[in-house]
């Protein structure tokens, strides 16, 4: 480019210097030679000046590059462009820059519908039901220095509620979390609702009040081990009070070839302010019915203590998982202290042979179809079976027992779209609502479907 500039300059000089009029041909040859000699001398001086300017420019650019590199900043416009914000795509735009900032909008919409059938003589409502199960919007990202953030609001139903709202700090294998987030209880509870294999989580997770709470937690994650612990108050909607608790969870997650194993245990303790009550109850599988056929009623409580065990395996398109959780209530005065139990066993298989269940960080993760719709495939198709048990009867408390037998089919046409169909048969003993004959042992049938999209 610079040599082109030099040649252009010389050409301009030639053009501007050639001013001899047409009648110069009549002048003497000596006059012509003198003029040409003067022109060549002027051209030589200009060429020398251009060479000097080129050298000075190169030195200045080198000095600027060195200073910018030492300061850690861009040296040229091209470098500035390389280090500017970059936009990726993970279901929604994700903006990142070289300094460590990132920003991603996020959200989900789950719409459920279905039918419940219960004995008419119980007097409980049944039939068709539907709801927007979750309608969330939020943001998440990173902040320079190892910090991160996540904030989500759920608009489902008539109330606006805050779900996750926390700040995190990561250093090495450790992560600190402050704000409202899920306590460290149960593989089923910590797995996102986007990635569960049934329309609702196992009965004990809802019955025992597992939920997001305000607190501080820490976790250490290695290649095959995960340790989590934290102290919490209550859900943001229930503050302020004097309740506090602690939760801890340990997970071993080794891999043998392509087979993922999971073995974990958790513990929960909550100290409740004076005069507190607890209530454990559960719906028949789906959330769009408000009926609860097993229910302890309100129990005076000073504290509660729980212990859980969890295990799972993922081998190609097959997965199996089992959990159990024991929840004890410390009641005031001389009242007996009951211990309630819930658990489930599940197995599932992908009919589309190249797909498998996702797993990450001690919990199930997103299924990514190997052959999604739009790329010549049909997405992933998964069938699942589950036995779900919940016992709310002990130490004089008769809340009933629920035996659930469930089957589901999950179709994911793409990474971020899901359709689910779920049938359940619930068998009750000591149900809180008797039939016309006084029987408290009977069954209920439930069918539910879900359409889901997230980003």
Q: Each residue of 210-241: pLDDT tens digit?
A: 999 999 999 999 999 999 999 999 999 999 99
Res 41: pLDDT = 76
The whole-number average pLDDT for the span 431-451 is: 98
Percent of the chain with pLDDT over 90: 78
User: 146: how many CB neighbours lie within 10 A of its CB?
Assistant: 14
Beta-carbon contacts of residue 238 (< 8 Å; ≥ 6 apart): none
Confidence band (pLDDT; 50, 70, 90) for 422?
very high
Confidence band (pLDDT; 50, 70, 90) for 50?
confident
Res 264: pLDDT = 98
In the predicted model, is pLDDT for residue 153 greater than 50?
A: yes
The whole-number average pLDDT for the span 200-207 is: 98
Q: Which of 42-46, 62-66, 370-374 has the lowest mean pLDDT?
A: 62-66
Percent of the chain with pLDDT over 70: 88
Which H, E and C letters describe the chain, residue by residue?
CHHHHHHHHHHHHHHHHCCCCHHHHHCCHHHHHHHHHHHHHHHHHHHHHHHHHHHHHHHHHHHHHHHHHHHCCCCCHHHHHHCCCEEEECCCEEEECCCCCEEEEEEEEEEEEEEEECCHHHCCCCEEEEEEEEEEEEEEEEECCCEEEEEEEECCCCCCEEEEEEEEEEECCEEEEEEEEECCCCHHHHCCCCCCCCCCCCHHHHHCCCCEEEEEEEEEECCCEEEEEEEECCCHHHCCCCCEEEEEEEEECCEECCEEEEEEEEEEEEECCCCCEECCEECCCCCCCCCCCEECCCEECCEEEEEEEEEEEEECCEEEEEEEEEEEEECCCCCCCCEEEEEEEEEEEECCCCCCCEEECCEEECCCCCCCCCCCCCCEEEEEEEEEEEEEEECCEEEEEEEEEEEEEEEEEECCEEEEEEEEEEEEECCCCCCCCCCCCEEEEEEEEEEEEEC
CA gap 307, 342 in Å, rounded: 11
Confidence band (pLDDT; 50, 70, 90) for 28?
low
What is this structure's pTM? 0.81
CA gap 36, 27 in Å, rounded: 13
Res 98: pLDDT = 86
User: 208: how many CB neighbours lie within 10 A of its CB?
Assistant: 26
Res 354: pLDDT = 94
The whole-number average pLDDT for the span 189-212 is: 98
Confidence band (pLDDT; 50, 70, 90) for 3?
very low
Res 90: pLDDT = 80
The whole-number average pLDDT for the span 8-19 is: 40
Res 384: pLDDT = 98
Res 73: pLDDT = 52
In the predicted model, is pLDDT for residue 246 greater than 60?
A: yes
Confidence band (pLDDT; 50, 70, 90) for 257?
very high
Q: Which one, of 193, 202, 191, 190, lies nearest residue 389 by Cα?
A: 202
Could you report the per-residue pLDDT of 384-418, keeping only the tens digit for each? 999 999 999 999 999 999 999 999 999 999 999 99
DSSP lists the bridge partners of residue 168 as 148, 177
Confidence band (pLDDT; 50, 70, 90) for 37?
confident
Confidence band (pLDDT; 50, 70, 90) for 33?
confident
Res 330: pLDDT = 98
The whole-number average pLDDT for the span 148-171 is: 94
Could you report the per-residue pLDDT of 117-130, keeping only the tens digit for each? 999 999 999 999 99
Confidence band (pLDDT; 50, 70, 90) for 190?
very high
In the predicted model, is pLDDT for residue 24 greater than 90?
A: no
DSSP lists the bridge partners of residue 77 as none
In the predicted model, is pLDDT for residue 306 greater than 60?
A: yes
Q: Which of 47-61, 143-157, 161-175, 213-227 has the lowest mean pLDDT?
A: 47-61
Superfamily of domain 109-132+195-454: Porin (2.40.160.10)
Res 72: pLDDT = 54
Q: What angle do CA 367, 285, 433 make, to 5 degrees?
A: 175
In the predicted model, is pLDDT for residue 74 greater than 70?
A: no
Res 12: pLDDT = 40
Average confidence score pLDDT of the chain? 90
The whole-number average pLDDT for the span 107-126 is: 97
Confidence band (pLDDT; 50, 70, 90) for 32?
low
Q: Domain extents for the chain?
A: 2-63, 109-132+195-454
Confidence band (pLDDT; 50, 70, 90) for 9?
very low
CA gap 207, 344 in Å, rounded: 13
Res 20: pLDDT = 42
Confidence band (pLDDT; 50, 70, 90) for 14?
very low
In the predicted model, is pLDDT for residue 156 greater than 60?
A: yes
First to last CA, the chain: 48
In the predicted model, is pLDDT for residue 79 greater than 90?
A: no
- Cα 326 to Cα 58, 331, 348, 444, distances in angstroms: 76, 16, 25, 25
Cβ pair 348, 380 in contact under 8 A: no
The whole-number average pLDDT for the span 277-282 is: 98
Confidence band (pLDDT; 50, 70, 90) for 93?
very high
CA gap 54, 80 in Å, rounded: 24
């Amino acid at each position: 480019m610079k040599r082109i500039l030099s040649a252009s300059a010389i050409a301009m000089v030639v053009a501007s210097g050639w001013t001899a009029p047409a009648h110069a041909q009549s002048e003497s040859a000596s006059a012509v030679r003198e003029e040409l000699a003067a022109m060549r001398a002027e051209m030589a001086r200009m060429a020398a000046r251009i060479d000097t300017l080129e050298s000075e420019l190169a030195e200045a650019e080198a000095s600027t590059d060195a200073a910018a590199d030492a300061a850690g900043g861009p040296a040229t416009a091209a470098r500035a462009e390389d280090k500017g914000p970059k936009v990726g795509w993970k279901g929604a735009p994700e903006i990142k820059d070289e300094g460590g900032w990132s920003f991603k909008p996020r959200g989900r919409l789950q719409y459920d519908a279905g039918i419940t059938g219960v004995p008419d003589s119980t007097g409980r409502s049944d039939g068709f039901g539907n709801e927007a199960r979750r309608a969330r919007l939020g943001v998440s990202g990173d902040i320079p220095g190892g910090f991160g953030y996540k904030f989500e609001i759920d608009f489902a139903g008539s109330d606006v509620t805050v779900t996750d709202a926390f700040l995190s700090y990561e250093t090495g294998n450790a992560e600190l979390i402050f704000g409202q987030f899920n306590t460290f209880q149960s593989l089923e509870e910590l797995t996102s609702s986007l990635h569960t294999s049934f329309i609702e989580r196992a009965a004990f997770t809802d019955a025992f009040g597992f939920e997001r709470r305000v607190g501080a937690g820490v976790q250490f994650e290695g290649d095959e081990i995960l340790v989590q612990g934290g102290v919490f108050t209550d859900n943001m909607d229930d503050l302020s009070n004097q309740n506090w608790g602690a939760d801890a969870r340990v997970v071993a997650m080794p891999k043998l070839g392509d087979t993922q194993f999971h073995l974990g245990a958790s513990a929960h303790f909550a100290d409740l302010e004076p005069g507190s009550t607890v209530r454990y109850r559960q719906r028949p599988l789906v959330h769009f019915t408000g009926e609860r056929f097993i229910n302890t009623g309100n129990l005076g409580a000073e504290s509660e203590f729980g212990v859980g065990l969890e295990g799972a395996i993922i081998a190609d398109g097959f997965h199996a998982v089992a959990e159990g959780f024991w929840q004890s209530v410390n009641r005031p005065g001389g009242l007996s202290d009951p211990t309630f139990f819930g658990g489930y066993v599940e197995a599932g298989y992908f009919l589309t042979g190249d797909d498998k269940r996702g797993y990450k960080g001690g919990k199930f993760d997103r299924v990514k179809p190997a052959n999604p719709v739009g790329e010549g495939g049909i997405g992933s198709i998964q069938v699942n079976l589950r036995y779900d048990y919940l016992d709310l009867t002990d130490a004089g408390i008769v809340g009933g027992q629920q035996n659930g037998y469930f089957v589901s089919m999950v179709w994911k046409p793409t990474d971020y779209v899901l359709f689910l169909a779920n049938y359940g048969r619930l068998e009750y003993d000591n149900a809180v609502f008797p039939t016309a004959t006084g029987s408290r042992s009977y069954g209920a049938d439930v069918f539910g479907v879900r359409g889901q999209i997230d980003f």
